[in-house]
Every structure is written in structure tokens, then in C-alpha cells.
Amino acid sequence: MSDKSDGIKAQKEEIVKRNLNRLLRTAVAIMGSKAEAEDIVQDTFIKLIEKQPDFNSPEHETAWLIRVTVNLCKSRLRSHWWQKTVPLLESHRAQYDEQIDILQTILSLPVKYRTVIHLFYYEGYSTKEIASLIELKEPAVRKQLTRARAILKDIFIEEEIFCERIY
């Protein structure tokens, strides 16, 4: 192997190390399954090797990888096979039952809502950055966040009322 190919290999390994956890969290948030998320992330890195894009900055690199991850998740969720399966919540070991309930509630949201919720609250992206990542207009992202928050609020209010009636 030449020094150039060793350098490229080392560069790709660094990209994987820098982005693996973020991409895995994003894919799990969208797919609801750690195994599916791992497959998606592996496919993302295969695309990275195949396409060999030139990145202007670390932010550009991360944005490209997240965009590919989100698009692969969307494609998988649209597939005929996926629609016949039920994803299980086997990842994100929670320390408290409340965390499990919150995570399950977020995963019960439609994909478009859980994607923006994850990118906004867990990854810390602005609505403008999310719009760029998932190829929507910024007002659409804000609307999805608003709707997702409203759905979550309604669910948690219903659960609170239900719990009050039991006790």
C-alpha cells in the first residue's frame, strides 16, 4: 500500500471516530432500533467511501454525514419490508423509568417529528441547520417542531390525568 492510500485510510478512520456516536444516536432516534441504526450508519460510511466528498470544514463533514444518515433512514422506513416489521426499543439504556417513558413517547411520533426533535434537542442544531440537513425550508422545520411539541404535551397531559385517576 502506498503512503497516499494509507493517509486516505487514516483520514476516513478519523471521520468515523469523530461522527460515529452522533450518527448512531440520530439513526436510533429515527429508526427506533439499535440494530437498524447500526446498519444505516454502516451504509452511511460506505457512501462516504464510495463518494469520497471533499469537505470544506468539520461542520460540512458532519452535515453531509447526517444528511446521508437521515435520507437512508427515510428510505428504509419507506421500504415494503420495513412496513411489515415492528421496531423494538432495545437501545438507550435509561437510568430511570421516566427516561424510558419519554424515549418511547418520542419514538412513537411520526418520523418527521422525531427527526426534528432529535436534531434540535439532542444534537443541538438550530432550525436553520436542520432545514439544510433534511432539505426542508426553515418555516417547515419550525412548524414540525411546534407540532411535535404539541403532540408530546398532549400525550404527557393525558398520562398525567390517567395517573391521577388511578391513584
What 3-state DSSP class applies to 50?
helix
Which among 107, 110, 95, 102 has a CA at the least distance from the CA of 153?
Answer: 102
Instruction: Give the mean model confidence (pLDDT) for residues 107-127.
Output: 90
pLDDT at 99: 63
- In this structure, what C-alpha cell is assigned to residue 83? 412496513
The answer to whether residue 154 scores a pLDDT higher than 80 is yes
Mean pLDDT value across the chain: 82
Which domains are seen in the chain, by residue range? 1-92 (no CATH), 94-167 (1.10.10.10)
Instruction: Give the mean model confidence (pLDDT) for residues 64-82.
Output: 86
pLDDT classification of 79: cutoffs 50, 70, 90: confident
pLDDT digits over 1-24, tens only?
567 777 778 888 899 999 999 999
